[in-house]
Amino acid sequence: MANKLIVAPAPHVQTSQSTARIMRDVVIALMPALVVSTIVFGVDVLRVTALSVAACVVFEFLIQKYVVRGPLTISNWSAVVTGVLLAFNLPASIPWWIVLIGAFVAIAIAKMTFGGLGKNPFNPALVGRVFLLIAYPVQMTTWPMPVNGGAFDALSGATPLAAVKHGLASPDALGVQDLLLGNMPGSMGEVAALALLVGFVYLLWRRVITWHIPVTILVTMALFAFVVALCKGESGALLWQLPLFHVLAGGAILGSVFMATDYSTSPMTVKGGVIFAVGIGVITMLIRLWGAYPEGMSFAILLMNACVPLINKYVKPKRFGVK
């Protein structure tokens, strides 16, 4: 034998599921939604997504190379994930320079200032999105219509959530089919509920995430809506239509599957994850029903992100042999 023996402490096997593979899987899981979104809103979707991804990767590269001067980690695909998620939270008609600003805020401020991947307390894409929403409210809430018109065109550019909020429509005005297929105005990536669910199943199959956080968020939201409907004295079909509408419309699925499950901004234990998810569900519904904004997913996730260190400190995993 020519070479020296290699020595290391046990274990001597390592998983093939590397950080890069996980991030790549997330990107793959987002692809069905990208395709549906392109069909609904046209090639603008691809343009915005490409710009956002490129900007995120370039910003991360520049910061690591010239500011942090640490090892380069753009090959781990995490900047790509941030780029796609940021794009999915924007309207397809957004001007290019706003995309650049959003990418800069997401990568430079929300991610790299904290030490990069794994150390950021808030989801970078959501920080970028919320920053843009507050800084450029007009551009961020001017929604393009689906190219083929859609069932909702009477509302001229309001998302279903906004329409319902402002009393322009009732939750049952939009068919479940349209909600599932994304045939409505809204952010690029959040309209296609069915495509996002396909991505969810893919992530579960690849063991990238567990079901706890997404399912808990959606169930919490549905229960909340159901109780509200009950209190309002609704009956019959509306009792289940309101919960279904809130789960399928807006960013509920995109947020719960892809944003709330972000590793570094979610708790480390299953129990903590459930607490975190219930918090997101409740805050989202509070904002949607009684807040100033029609959609509250982003704010809810960011607020609960802030609670994660606390949850990690106090919620410990169930220890073996401890009652």
Partner 1 sequence: MEVLLYTILTLCVLGVLAAVILYFVAQKFRVEEDPRIDEVEKMLPGANCGGCGFAGCRGMADALVKRDDISELFCPVGGSDCMKAIAGYLGKAAAEKQPEVATVRCGGTCEKRPRTNEYNGARSCAVAASLYVGETGCAFGCLGFGDCVAACAFDAIHMNPATGLPEVDPDKCTACGACVKACPKMVIELRKKWPKNRAVYVSCVSKDKGAVVMKACKAGCIGCGKCEKVCAFGAITVTNNLAYIDPQKCKLCRKCVNECPTGAIKLVGMDPLPKEPKAPAAPKTAPAAAKEAAKEAPKAAPAEKSAKEVQKTAPAAAKEAPKAAPAEKPAKEAQKAAPQEPSHES
Partner 2 sequence: MKTFPMGGVHPSENKLSSAKAIEVLPLPEVVNIPLAQHIGAPAVAKVAKGDKVLTGQLIAEAGSFMSANIHSPISGTVTAVDQVANGQGLRQMMITIKREGDEWAEGIDRSQTLVKECNLSAQEIIARIKAAGIVGMGGATFPTHVKLSIPAGKKAECVIINGVECEPYLTSDHRMMLEHGEELVVGVTILMKAVGVEKAYIGIENNKPDAIAHLQKIVASYPGIEVVPLKVRYPQGGEKQLIAAVTGRQVPPPPALPIDVGAVVCNASTTYAVYQAVQKGMPLIQRVVTITGKSIREPKNLLTRMGTPVSALIAAAGGLPENTGKVINGGPMMGRAMVNLESPVTKGCSGITVLSEHDARRHVASQCIKCAKCVAACPMGLEPYYLSKMTQKKNWDEVEARMITSCIECGCCQSTCPAYLPLLDWVRLGKQTVMGRIRARAAAAAPKK
Q: Is the distance from CB of 311 to CB of 279 less than 8 angstroms? A: no
State the nearest-atom distance from the C-beta of 6 to partner 1, in Å: 5
Q: Is the distance from CB of 52 to CB of 102 less than 8 angstroms? A: yes
Question: Which three-class secondary structure state does DSSP give residue 24?
Answer: helix
- With 0-12 / 13-18 / 19 or more C-beta atoms within 10 angstroms meaning exposed / middle / buried, residue 101 is middle
State the nearest-atom distance from the C-beta of 1 to partner 1, in Å: 12
Please list, in sequence order, all residues whose beta carbon lies within 8 angstroms of the beta carbon of residue 179, skipping any fewer than 6 positions away. Answer: 160, 193, 245, 248, 249
Scanning the structure block, which residue is given the tokens 């100033």?
292
State the nearest-atom distance from the C-beta of 19 to partner 1, in Å: 18
State the nearest-atom distance from the C-beta of 2 to partner 2, in Å: 7
Residue 72 interface partner, choices partner 1, partner 2, none, CB cut-off 5-8 Å depending on type: none
Q: Of the two residues 142 and 210, which places its CB atom closer to partner 2 in the complex?
A: 210
Residue 114's CB is within 10 A of a number of other CB atoms, namely: 15
Is 7 an interacting residue with respect to partner 1 (CB under 8 A)?
yes
Residue 18 interface partner, choices partner 2, partner 1, none, CB cut-off 5-8 Å depending on type: partner 2
Q: Of the two residues 212 and 246, which places its CB atom closer to partner 2 in the complex?
A: 212
The total number of residues written for the chain in this structure: 323
Q: Of the two residues 9 and 149, which places its CB atom closer to partner 2 in the complex?
A: 9
Please list, in sequence order, all residues whose beta carbon lies within 8 angstroms of the beta carbon of residue 60, skipping any fewer than 6 positions away. Answer: 73, 74, 79, 107, 111, 112, 116
State the nearest-atom distance from the C-beta of 269 to partner 2, in Å: 6
Residue 137 interface partner, choices partner 2, partner 1, none, CB cut-off 5-8 Å depending on type: none
Is 71 an interacting residue with respect to partner 1 (CB under 8 A)?
no
Question: Which three-class secondary structure state does DSSP give residue 70?
Answer: coil
Q: Which amino acid is at 27?
A: V
State the nearest-atom distance from the C-beta of 74 to partner 1, in Å: 25
Binding site for partner 2 (CB under 8 A): 1-3, 5-15, 17-19, 21-22, 73, 76, 78, 115-119, 210, 263-264, 266-270, 316-322
Residue 233 interface partner, choices partner 1, partner 2, none, CB cut-off 5-8 Å depending on type: none
Q: How many whole angstroms separate alpha carbon 220 and alpha carbon 299?
A: 16
Is 5 an interacting residue with respect to partner 1 (CB under 8 A)?
yes
Q: Of the two residues 55 and 208, which places its CB atom closer to partner 2 in the complex?
A: 208
Is 6 an interacting residue with respect to partner 1 (CB under 8 A)?
yes
Query: Residues interacting with partner 1, by CB under 8 A?
Result: 4-9
